[in-house]
Structure formats: C-alpha cells, structure tokens
Amino acid sequence: MKISPANRVSKIKPYFFASLEKTLSELRKDGVKVIRLDIGSPDLPPQDFIVDALVEAVHRPDVHGYGPSGGSPALRAAIASYYLDRFDLKLDVDKEVLGLIGSKEGIFNLSQVLINPGDLVLLPDPCYPVYSVGALIAQAETYDMPLLAENSFLPDFDAIPDAVAGRAKLMWLNYPNNPTGAIAPYEFFERAVAFARKHEIVIAHDAPYVDICFDHYKAPSILQVPGAKEVAVEFNSLSKTYNMAGWRVGMALGNPEIIRLLRMYKSQQDSSLFIPLMVAAESALLGDQSWIETRNQVYQDRRDVVVSTLLDLGFTMEIPKASIYVWAKLPEPWTDSVAFCDTLLREAGVSITPGVVYGPSGAGYVRISLVTPLEQLSEAMARMRIWMDKEK
C-alpha cells in the first residue's frame, strides 16, 4: 500500500540540523574531529540548586502521574513572579500565563489556533524556521519582512504595503534575535504595537534570549508596552536563560484569548510536563538569579574571540549585545554561504550555519553559536583562519 502524506505536510523540507547530523556522522566515521559551532544548545549545566530540586522531587511518591496541562498553579505563579521581578509586569496567573513543553510547542501551535487557509502571516526574514513551518502547515500565505543591516536587523513597518498589512492576521517578532543577534529598543516595540493595533494584527514575540545580554544591555519585553496585551502574546523558555534546553520547559504569556486557545489546543495534543520538571522550573525562576551575570560573561568572552577573529578575516557584522550567536557577512570573494560552510566543514572540521537556512535575506551570511567551551572555540577560529588564508 502506498502511504501518501497530507498535502500540508508534503511541502515541508527536512530540518537543516537533522540533515547536518548525517553529514557529521559520515565525517566522524572518516576520522574528522569536528568542532560544532552550528546549533544553539547551551553547553553549560543548570545551577546545582535547580538540579537538586528536580532530584528531590523525583523521590516523592506523588509526582509520577499526570500533571496539570498548561503547567501547575505553582509553576504559573513562578512564571508570573519572574515577569514581575524582571520586567515589572503584572500577569493574571489563570488567564495570561500558560506553561509549555518547550516554547517551540507554543510557537508551532499558535498558527494552528489562529490561522485559516489563505490567511496572511508576516515573517521576519531571516527567522527561526518554526515560524514559517507553522504557517505552512496551517496553509497560510506569508509575506517576508527583510531584516537588513542598514536597519539594524529590524523590520521596516513603513515598507509593508497597506494592502498587505490590511490582510495580515499574525506577525512574528523575535528580539534578541535568532539568527542575527540583533536587539530591539523599547521604542521599536511601541511602534510594533501601534502598527498591530492599527491593522488588527496579532503579534507573536519570541523572547528566549532576554536574559543573555552583554555590555550592560538589558532586553525589554514587548508586554511592557501599554496596550500590548490587547494584540500580543510572548513566548519564553528556560532553555537558554537557565541552561535547560533538554528539559523542555517554556511559557506563553499575554493576550487572554490567545492563551485560552493555546490551552484548549494543547489539551487535545499532549498531557503535561513531568511534575518534578515543573518543581525544578519553579526553583529556577524563583531562586538566586545572580549567577546569570557570571554565565553571561562566559558567553561574552566567547563572543569577543569570535568577533575579533572574524573581523580580522574580513567579515562584517554588528557586534551582538545579546543572544548566543554571531551573525556575519562573508568577505569577498565568498558569496555562497552554503558552499562556504560545507567546504569549511569538510576541509577544516568546523561546523557553522549558512545564513540562507533562515531565509533569503540570510544569503551571504553565516551564524556562529557561542555554546562551545572557549578552548574549543579558539581552536575552531584558528582552523578557520588557516583554511581561509589557504583559500585566498
């Protein structure tokens, strides 16, 4: 019997990092020692007090059944407490906060609960691929908002035609940004909320990097803007802030009707987080936060090594003030980021990500992740320098 996929699924291309794994496996079999600077999974561990909370909770006899879908009341209260302390923002625990099995779940599900076939979604270009895949599976039309260096990698709302803005139902934003590492000032979020209210567009703001900041920068939340909750939902996660990517604890916050729809959809799709994970997440959110500054200095030191090397090799970039990525434009004569990254991987054993993976405006750029120990990162930069000098 021939198995045919649903039309909405048949158009999906394989996830880049899934196909990359196959290439890496082949190279390892050939004895190549690859240094990975491609994927954004933190290499540093969670703090001991978070792990201790998990271990202690696991030994309780009453935590191994189903937990509350959308997060326990205690977890949602901890999320609200974090947002109050971090952003001076009050959230209704029952109506404006939803726990997620990683923010990726909510990001994908948002298109499924809001978008009908033919609806228009505004996508940043480049962007995290799940925004566009979620829209594709919902059978939406999409309109790209280029993120360009000359505009500090912020979308230009004035460049969006009125006819497009009038049709748009959902707009994705993401600051601090993946893949560009760009930041957005509070005034940008004010303009975004005004634009969305004018055209009756839902804003989805993906904010997992708000606590990975450098050079005394502190990232805002879009929900701090007066009136933002009328049009916006924000996604956040413990993955990057607390080095808990594999724990899969995320959150959606903001507009009560959007939160209600996500909760309803989620109740049909999954059960809940493991209760000890929720207990540990509460500990992370409510516990000592001072260690985050020390951790950020580790990333900043790594950033400085990458930036100084790339600038010396002729790349152009904005030095990132947040996130775990460096986004750099290839120096001449290189123009094809896919070919550059593939050859660098095969000949120098350094894996970085071609920018075009994230959208057409990423052509000619590469993304380098900062989630590798400094010694290995320095070795990767040395390999890259030797290879590029040889290629000139």
Give residue-wise pLDDT tens across range 303-313: 999 999 999 99
Question: Within 13 Å, how many C-alpha atoms sit on residue 298's CB side?
Answer: 17
Q: Are 97 and 236 within 8 A, CB to CB?
A: no
Cα–Cα distance, 149 to 191 (Å, whole number) = 19
* Phi (first) and psi of residue 344, to 5 degrees: -60, -40
Evaluate if pTM is beyond 0.75: yes
Distance CA 237, CA 251 (A): 6
Q: What is the CATH number of domain 48-286?
A: 3.40.640.10
Q: Could you give the CA distance from residue 197 to residue 263 in angstroms, rounded to a whole number?
A: 24
What is the Cα–Cα distance from 82 to 86, expressed in whole angstroms?
Answer: 6
Give the number of residues written for the chain: 392
The reply to whether 7-45+291-391 and 48-286 are identical in fold is no
- The answer to whether 178 touches 323, Cβ cutoff 8 Å, is yes
CATH code, residues 7-45+291-391: 3.90.1150.10
Could you give the CA distance from residue 168 to residue 245 in angstroms, rounded to a whole number?
Answer: 32
Q: Would you state the pLDDT for residue 2?
A: 85
> What is the per-residue pLDDT for 17?
73
In whole angstroms, how far apart are CA 346 and each of 23, 329, 337, 352, 363? 9, 21, 14, 11, 20
335 backbone φψ class: left, alpha, beta (φ>0; ψ -120 to 50):
alpha
In sequence order, the β-bridge partners of residue 236 are: 251
CB 261 within 8 A of CB 111: no
Beta partners for residue 234, in sequence order: 205, 253
* Extents of the domains making up the chain: 7-45+291-391, 48-286
Between the CA of residue 134 and those of 123, 175, 203, 318, what are the distances in Å? 11, 19, 15, 29
Mean pLDDT of each 10-residue bin along the chain, 392 residues long: 82 73 83 90 96 97 93 97 98 97 96 96 96 94 97 97 97 98 98 98 98 97 97 98 96 98 93 94 97 97 98 96 98 94 94 95 97 96 94 72
